[in-house]
Chain A
Amino acid sequence: MKISREDVLRVAELAYLDLSEAELETYCAQIDEILEYIGKLNELDTSKVEPMAQVLADDQSADATLREDLTVPCAVGEDVLRHAPDPEPPYFRVPKVIER
């Protein structure tokens, strides 16, 4: 077993994700099988390999693509709030969090 029911519960808590009992059981078995498969990566010696986080080459570095940090007007605020689940312009309303 690569992953236990407790692991899945812990991870679901980290991800703020409610899972039913049935989901827990199914995901535990399926993810265990996937992790078992992923284990094949250990056949490769990568001790001398640099991790690759993205594919952009040096000539596409941030210097070449980042714009200047200028303020530009953006007038979508009303639109955004109109479709929010519980808007109180100019705010989004959420349950009280003070007690925590």
Chain B
Amino acid sequence: MTAKWTIDGIKEALAAKKISARELLADFYKRIEARNPELNAFLALTPERAGRQADRVDALIASGGPLPPLAGVPVAVKDVLSTRGTKTTCGSKILENYIPPYDATAVERLEAAGAVILGKTNCDEFAMGSSNENSAYGPVRNPNAPDRVPGGSSGGSAAVVAAGLAVASLGTDTGGSIRQPGSFCGIPAMMGSYGRVSRYGLIAFASSLDRIGPLATKVRDVAAILQTISGRDPNDSTSTTAPVPDYVAELAKPLKRPRLGIPKEYFAEGMDSGVRQKIEAGVALFRKLGCELVEIRMPHTDYAIAAYYIIATAEASSNLARYDGVRYGLRIPDDSLLAMYRKTRGAGFGPEVKRRIVLGTYVLSAGYYDAYYLKGQKVRALIARDFRAAFTKVDAILTPTSPVPPFHLGERTSDPLQMYLADIYTVTGSLAGVPGISVPCGKIDGQLPVGLQIFGPPFGEARVLQLAHSFEQAGGPDV
């Protein structure tokens, strides 16, 4: 069976009793069993929890009761999101045996809406990476081209959806970690505005940047999942009280000749020619849809990577101080407490995480704080200003998601700076806090997916989704 289910398709099939939630679940586990050994996209499966949830859904159907919006929908969750009673490793050896005592709010909300949690997906260690090659549990392979990376850090979450092993998944995005793997695997993937989704239970990487968001095979399903997980949560003071619109209902509204900004800086040198060709075709399709295209300037774009890697590593060095071998995770014993800390952290963290802790500690250390950390925060303000200025002229911004198509496994691992530079189009929106989606925009040579990114103003998720949906319906994924 290779048919791709959607949320609506499942709803209909369950209501018509063509399949039960239990049978659907069994079918998905069969697919996972067949395909996961090659892809390495799931780190853990949760068959008991999933089975109980499927039984609840089937009991509801039998009783004729109304079904919640995601009833029976099999979903996967990135392994940086806490799941009660199930190992949550963050792709790290230091949390190899960590079992959280509670569920992340996003996970809880999915289950409350009827979704069935299949298991936990592989990712770069502590969500630090752009290729999923920084996982302590081995890289994930791209379902479109198994010798290539799926992107990162939510590589597993993107791969399972693209391979039909889950209907949707949750990822997390700090500098592009939902959007870029969505682009590399050829599926829509979205981060809402900073504050839109509660991060309670998300194991922190960089707190002023981290966001949780959905990946799915259709924009409509992305909208449905985002709607479910959005909204105020008393357990996360950064989650906002802003009302959550009915994103799915908003999709049906016609586009009212929106003005779309094309930032010149995002189309400068450094973009792969195959990516450029697809993005230009995608932009042309938006024109055909009746959108007005406006060239805009975002002059601080070129400084975003430098500002991002100061701020993200500084926050990471602080957040990751908690892994000391005392309360959870790995401990390397020693007679001295401080030696125990040092040995535990030295043995438990992988190379990229150590590199970022060293860099982040350095930019925060006495004598360098002003030159690096404060400077980074000031440049962040300038980048946010670029976005504010742009949204006074246009309704949304179109860019490529990644300057390059999915690359080969091992191709870029030896040069961290080169890996960082590939985040150029995604980190800007992360720093500014705006919502963004990557939507499929053709495949180079019919094989390597390209993603087109749409940024909206803060809390403009409905507009972003509407544009992505129209693009998808008009054949965007096949340009």
A38 x B361 contact (CB < 8 A): no
* Minimal beta-carbon separation of B250 from chain A (angstroms): 22
- CB-nearest residue of chain B relative to A81? B327
Chain B contacts for A62, CB-based, 8 A: 237
- CB-nearest residue of chain A relative to B310? A38
* Minimal beta-carbon separation of A90 from chain B (angstroms): 13
A14 x B365 contact (CB < 8 A): yes
Is B240 an interface residue when CB atoms closer than 8 A count as contact? yes
- CB-nearest residue of chain A relative to B87? A83
- CB-nearest residue of chain A relative to B334? A95
With A60-B195, A85-B326 already in contact, the answer to whether A15 and B357 are too (CB < 8 A) is yes
Chain B contacts for A94, CB-based, 8 A: 326, 337, 340
Complex Cα spacing A33 to B417, Å: 8
B417 x A34 contact (CB < 8 A): yes
Is B303 an interface residue when CB atoms closer than 8 A count as contact? yes
Which of A41, A55, A56 gathers most chain B CB within 10 Å? Answer: A55
Is A71 an interface residue when CB atoms closer than 8 A count as contact? no
Within 8 Å by CB of B237, from A15, A35, A65, lies A65
Which of B346, B349, B351 gathers most chain A CB within 10 Å? Answer: B346
A17 x B346 contact (CB < 8 A): yes
Interface residues on A, range: 35 or more
- CB-nearest residue of chain A relative to B433? A55
Chain B contacts for A33, CB-based, 8 A: 417
Within 8 Å by CB of B306, from A19, A38, A49, A55, lies A38
Is B458 an interface residue when CB atoms closer than 8 A count as contact? yes
With A51-B381, A94-B340 already in contact, the answer to whether A86 and B331 are too (CB < 8 A) is yes
Q: Could you mark each residue 23-67 of chain A with 1 if its beta carbon is under 8 Å from any beta carbon of chain B, else 0?
A: 100010011011101101111101001111111110010101111
Complex Cα spacing A96 to B242, Å: 49
- CB-nearest residue of chain B relative to A39? B306
B309 x A38 contact (CB < 8 A): yes
B101 x A76 contact (CB < 8 A): yes
Complex Cα spacing A38 to B232, Å: 36
With A51-B378, A52-B377 already in contact, the answer to whether A92 and B327 are too (CB < 8 A) is yes
A53 x B310 contact (CB < 8 A): no
With A85-B326, A85-B331, A94-B326 already in contact, the answer to whether A11 and B98 are too (CB < 8 A) is no
Within 8 Å by CB of B384, from A8, A19, A41, A52, lies A52
- CB-nearest residue of chain A relative to B318? A15
Interface residues on B, range: 35 or more
Q: Could you mark each residue 1-31 of chain A with 1 if its beta carbon is under 8 Å from any beta carbon of chain B, else 0?
A: 0010001101110111111100100010011
Complex Cα spacing A80 to B100, Å: 8
With A41-B376, A94-B340 already in contact, the answer to whether A30 and B327 are too (CB < 8 A) is no
Chain B contacts for A20, CB-based, 8 A: 346
Q: Could you mark each residue 237-266 of chain B with 1 if its beta carbon is under 8 Å from any beta carbon of chain A, else 0?
A: 111111000000000000000000000000
Q: Could you mark each residue 312-338 of chain B with 1 if its beta carbon is under 8 Å from any beta carbon of chain A, else 0?
A: 000001000100111111110111111
A34 x B359 contact (CB < 8 A): yes
Chain B contacts for A38, CB-based, 8 A: 306, 309-310, 372
A83 x B99 contact (CB < 8 A): yes
Q: DSSP majority for the B interface?
A: helix
With A17-B357, A44-B300 already in contact, the answer to whether A55 and B240 are too (CB < 8 A) is no
Within 8 Å by CB of B355, from A30, A57, A64, lies A30
A95 x B240 contact (CB < 8 A): no
With A17-B349, A41-B303, A62-B237 already in contact, the answer to whether A55 and B362 are too (CB < 8 A) is no
Complex Cα spacing A80 to B98, Å: 10
* Minimal beta-carbon separation of A7 from chain B (angstroms): 7
* Minimal beta-carbon separation of A43 from chain B (angstroms): 8
Is B354 an interface residue when CB atoms closer than 8 A count as contact? yes
Is B137 an interface residue when CB atoms closer than 8 A count as contact? no
With A41-B307, A76-B101 already in contact, the answer to whether A46 and B342 are too (CB < 8 A) is no
Chain A contacts for B300, CB-based, 8 A: 44
Chain A contacts for B328, CB-based, 8 A: 80, 83-85
Is A88 an interface residue when CB atoms closer than 8 A count as contact? no
Is A69 an interface residue when CB atoms closer than 8 A count as contact? no
Complex Cα spacing A85 to B384, Å: 43
B381 x A50 contact (CB < 8 A): yes
Chain A contacts for B324, CB-based, 8 A: 16
**Among all A-B residue pairs, the 6 with the closest Cβ atoms:** A18-B346, A55-B433, A51-B377, A85-B331, A79-B101, A46-B378
Chain A interfacial positions (CB closer than 8 Å to B): 3, 7-8, 10-12, 14-20, 23, 27, 30-31, 33-35, 37-38, 40-44, 46, 49-57, 60, 62, 64-67, 76, 79-80, 83-86, 92, 94-97, 100
Supply 5 A–B pairs (Cβ within 8 Å), ascending by A.
A34-B309, A55-B432, A56-B195, A94-B326, A94-B340
